Amino acid sequence: MIVLAIARDLLAEARSRRWVLAFLGGATLLLAAVAFGLRFEVVDGALAATRLFGGDLKSDVRSVDVALRPLFVATSYLVFYCGLVFGVVATADFAPALLAPGRIEPLLALPVRRWQVLAGTFLGVEALVLAAALYGGAGVALLLWLKTGVANAGPLVAAASAAVAFAPIYAAMLTAALGVRSAALSGGAGLLLLVAGVVAGNRAAVAELFQPGASRSVFLGVTSLLPRLSALAKVAAAASESRPVPGGPLLALVAGTLAFALAVLALGVDRFERRDF
């Protein structure tokens, strides 16, 4: 309960921060720009041509959802990766601010365990990112539905995947901030893990670029420990294309990613416990 209370406090604080509100406002404006500014006529025209000429020629006319799959896939990737980058940028200074002199001491004076402070902060940020990602994902899905007449859950799945992928990223950011109280370093750690996670998600293909031997083994060994973040993006892309995603591997992927986040968080707890304020 204490953990949840800390998370709730963090969300309340985020709500009061102008720049978070500004960020959400910016995302809304972006969605509006997508709705009104982009030339969806191209899509409409392509669909009309498919219907017209496909019908006349009596050839196989692709259904609208199939014709639009590339668009949905691209949108899912956009929501996933933009959501992650947004999350890193938006939350980079949370942990450094929490650990700032004059602020952490009163918090630690309360009857709260240090791991509870970290866990509460982590959960609060995760909830914030999930809400923002769902906002963006749902907005994009809604816009696409209105413009094309096809409902596609891809952007929503991408938003949920981004929230899962953000867990290890923010755990790394939090742990980095416990080492050096710097928003830049915290954000850098997050982006680094994001890139490493993309590589790890494609490790089998990337490994083929190494000569067989020690270098390839080292690469495979190191990346076996990292979360496969790009694999989560591919799940969203598969959902956009209405391709089935096997439940077992998906569950293992999500559980493995969250376990990695908890491992990094445990490292952060270890640092936090050893540090004097």
Partner 1 sequence: MKRHVPLLLAVLLVGLSALLLSVAEGPRPASARAEVDFPRWLREPEAERLQARRTLAPVPAPAAAPEAEEEPPRPRDPFLVALPRDPQKPLVVLEANALRHSRLGELFVECLLRRPGRDPFEEARREAGIDPLKDIDRVAFAQDGMILFGFFDRAQLAALEAESRVTRRGEQGLVYEPLRATGPAMSLGTWRRELIVAGEPAFVEATLDRLEGRSAGTPALIPERLTYGEAYGVVPGAALANLFRGEQAELGRRIASAASRIELHADAMRDVAVVANVSGADERAVEDLGTALGAAIAVGRIQALAGGSSQVAELLEHARVVRGAGGGFSLELALPVEVLERWFAGCGTAQP
Of 274, 276, 268, which Cα lies nearest the Cα of 118? Answer: 268
How far is Cα 10 from Cα 120, in angstroms, rounded to an integer? 8
Rounded least distance, CB 4 to partner 1, Å:
21
How far is Cα 99 from Cα 277, in angstroms, rounded to an integer? 9
241 in helix, strand or coil?
A: coil
Using the rule CB under 8 A, which residue among 218, 263, 275, 277 binds partner 1? 263
Taking CB under 8 A as the rule, does residue 259 contact partner 1?
A: yes
Taking CB under 8 A as the rule, does residue 111 contact partner 1?
A: no
Residue among 70 and 249 whose Cβ is closer to partner 1: 249
How far is Cα 133 from Cα 25, in angstroms, rounded to an integer? 14
Taking CB under 8 A as the rule, does residue 260 contact partner 1?
A: yes
3-class SS string, 163-207: HHHHHHHHHHHHHHHHHCCCHHHHHHHHHHHHHHHHHHHCHHHHH
Count of residues that interact with partner 1, criterion CB under 8 A: 31
Taking CB under 8 A as the rule, does residue 250 contact partner 1?
A: yes
Site string for partner 1, 176-205 (x = CB under 8 A): ----------------------------xx
Residue among 189 and 231 whose Cβ is closer to partner 1: 231
Taking CB under 8 A as the rule, does residue 213 contact partner 1?
A: yes
Using the rule CB under 8 A, which residue among 212, 244, 247, 276 binds partner 1? 212
Taking CB under 8 A as the rule, does residue 109 contact partner 1?
A: no
Taking CB under 8 A as the rule, does residue 231 contact partner 1?
A: yes
Token output for 139: 């907005």
How far is Cα 215 from Cα 197, in angstroms, rounded to an integer? 19
Rounded least distance, CB 206 to partner 1, Å:
10
Using the rule CB under 8 A, which residue among 103, 151, 225, 243 binds partner 1? 225
Taking CB under 8 A as the rule, does residue 68 contact partner 1?
A: no
Sequence-distant (6+) residues with CB within 8 A of 133 are 79, 83, 87, 158, 159, 160, 162, 163, 166
How far is Cα 277 from Cα 269, in angstroms, rounded to an integer? 14
Using the rule CB under 8 A, which residue among 110, 179, 270, 277 binds partner 1? 270
Q: Which stretch binds partner 1 (CB under 8 A): 30-38, 71-79, 80-88, 267-275?
A: 267-275
How far is Cα 172 from Cα 154, in angstroms, rounded to an integer? 27
CB 203, CB 223: distance < 8 Å:
yes
Of 166, 151, 158, 152, which Cα lies nearest the Cα of 136? Answer: 158
Rounded least distance, CB 234 to partner 1, Å:
11
Site residues (vs partner 1, CB under 8 A): 115, 204-205, 208-209, 212-213, 224-225, 227-228, 231, 248-250, 252-253, 255-257, 259-260, 262-264, 266-267, 269-270, 273-274
